[in-house]
Amino acid sequence: MEKNHGLLIVLSGPSGAGKGTICQELLRQMPDLRYSVSMTTRSPRPGEVEGIHYYFRPRQEFEAMLARNELLEWAEFCDNYYGTPLFAVEQAILDGRDVILEIDIQGAMQIKKRFPQGVFTFIIPPSLDVLSERIHKRGTETEEVIQKRLATAIQELEYVDEYDYVVINDEVLAAVEKLKSILVAEKCRVKRKPFVFKGEYK
């Protein structure tokens, strides 16, 4: 019987929805799950390790990869490129390993065009009031920036129909259990099975 390929799980949602916390807990509970490492042209910051935090590449190499269509998604921010290299994701999936990718909505939509068989899950807070409270608790941004983030979140919620699943992050462990259930269900989908059942159980 042919080995099943792994899944690409794409998590996205508004800033403050708790994507990072959910992703960390899911990785803790599922040690075989691979975290997709992004590539960037910026210099490493103190403590950052190649292949763990980012793949650090010179701008020329990044642009060459873009020309060869070797990135699942990419964006330019503050004069630096950021993107998801295809090689790491593709190899893990072919090896039967599941890969999780936490990314913004624009990146997720790029990936959906390249890799529509991915599992696209939208993480949302229970309400905008809860989202506002979470962002305020960070204490890292001005009120003006927070209001802009909330306005952006309202716009981003309009993308929910582009996703396969939506998970309300009211409580992290409960949200993680829902994601684990989604992965089980996806692995049982007939279209993901590389074999036909003819004669299998006679």
pLDDT in tens, 72-124: 999 998 889 999 999 889 989 999 999 999 998 999 999 999 999 999 999 99
Q: Give the mean pLDDT of 28-40.
A: 94
Which range, 2-11, 65-74, 149-158, is most confident? Answer: 65-74
**pLDDT for 166:** 96
**pLDDT for 22:** 95
Q: Please tell me the distance from the alpha carbon of residue 177 to that of residue 185, in angstroms, as a whole number.
A: 12
Domain residue ranges of the chain, discontinuous segments joined by +: 8-189
Q: Assess contact for 56 and 43: CB atoms under 8 A.
A: yes
* pLDDT of 131 strictly over 50: yes
Number of Cβ within 10 Å of residue 91's Cβ equals 13
Task: Name the least confident of 86-100, 140-154, 175-189.
Answer: 140-154
Rg (CA), the chain: 18
- What is the largest distance, in Å, between two alpha-carbon atoms of the chain? 67
Q: Give the mean pLDDT of 12-27.
A: 90
**pLDDT for 202:** 47
Confidence bin at 195 (pLDDT 50/70/90)? low
* pLDDT of 60 strictly over 60: yes
What residues contact residue 112 under an 8 Å CB cut-off, 6+ apart?
A: 10, 118, 120, 162
Q: Assess contact for 186 and 7: CB atoms under 8 A.
A: yes
Q: Please tell me the distance from the alpha carbon of residue 11 to that of residue 102, in angstroms, as a whole number.
A: 5
Q: Give the mean pLDDT of 132-143.
A: 79
Provide the 8-state DSSP code for 148.
Answer: H
* pLDDT of 167 strictly over 50: yes
Q: Is 1 exposed, middle or buried (0-12, 13-18, 19+ CB in 10 A)?
A: exposed
E strand or H helix at 61, and its extent? helix 59-67
Q: Please tell me the distance from the alpha carbon of residue 43 to that of residue 56, in angstroms, as a whole number.
A: 7
* pLDDT of 2 strictly over 70: no
Q: Please tell me the distance from the alpha carbon of residue 31 to that of residue 110, in angstroms, as a whole number.
A: 27
Q: Assess contact for 124 and 13: CB atoms under 8 A.
A: yes
**pLDDT for 29:** 97
E strand or H helix at 55, and its extent? strand 55-56
**pLDDT for 77:** 83
Out of 3.40.605.10, 3.40.50.300, 1.25.40.10, 2.60.40.10, which CATH number does the structure's domain 8-189 have?
3.40.50.300
